[in-house]
Amino acid sequence: MTQTAIAPIAETLFLAEPVVRLIGGQHRESGRIVFPCPPDDSFEPVPLSPRGTLWSYTVQRFRPKTPPYRGPEAFEPFALGYVELPGEVIVETRIVDVPFEALRIGMPMVATAVPFGADDGGEPRLIYAFTADAITIDQGAEQ
């Protein structure tokens, strides 16, 4: 099963193809960009930059209470943080595939999508996440 075969956890939250991009909302009058896009005519949905830098981070060390958490009963600590998308908005996100001790404020990040297992026996859902941006690290420039 490819990732794109999995339904996203919410509609109009992010684009999975050709690259993962979160969908923000740009206020039609002020131009302010928010995330997620409110279900409101005063905001126009806009795809956000897939790349940014880590603004802050932490590690969730205990299983969040259910409800509202719907992750698997077997809990593994996970990283999360805020990623600054230049000139747009700073978004909160899970962080995947980065060792906890390697997390640094300012590190380049790129959007991705990963399956998230629901705890109620339902199908996994696709969620957005960010990971270390190897391209920016290697080439020193945004693609």
Which parts of this chain interact with other proteins (CB under 8 A)? 9-10, 13, 32, 34-36, 55-62, 64-71, 78, 80-82, 84, 87-92, 94, 100, 105, 116, 118, 125, 127
Q: How far is the CB of 28 from other proteins (least distance, A)?
A: 17
Handedness of CA 80, 70, 2, 24 (dihedral sign): negative
For other proteins, the closer of residues 3 and 60 by Cβ is 60
Identify the burial level of 129 via C-beta atoms within 10 angstroms of its C-beta, where 0-12 means exposed, 13-18 middle and 19 or more buried: buried
Interatomic CA distance for residues 53 and 44, integer angstroms: 24
Q: How far is the CB of 92 from other proteins (least distance, A)?
A: 5
For other proteins, the closer of residues 120 and 138 by Cβ is 120
For other proteins, the closer of residues 34 and 135 by Cβ is 34
Q: How far is the CB of 19 from other proteins (least distance, A)?
A: 20
Cis peptide before 115 (omega within 30 of 0): no
From 11, 32, 28, select the one nearest 90 (Cα to Cα): 32
For other proteins, the closer of residues 63 and 142 by Cβ is 63
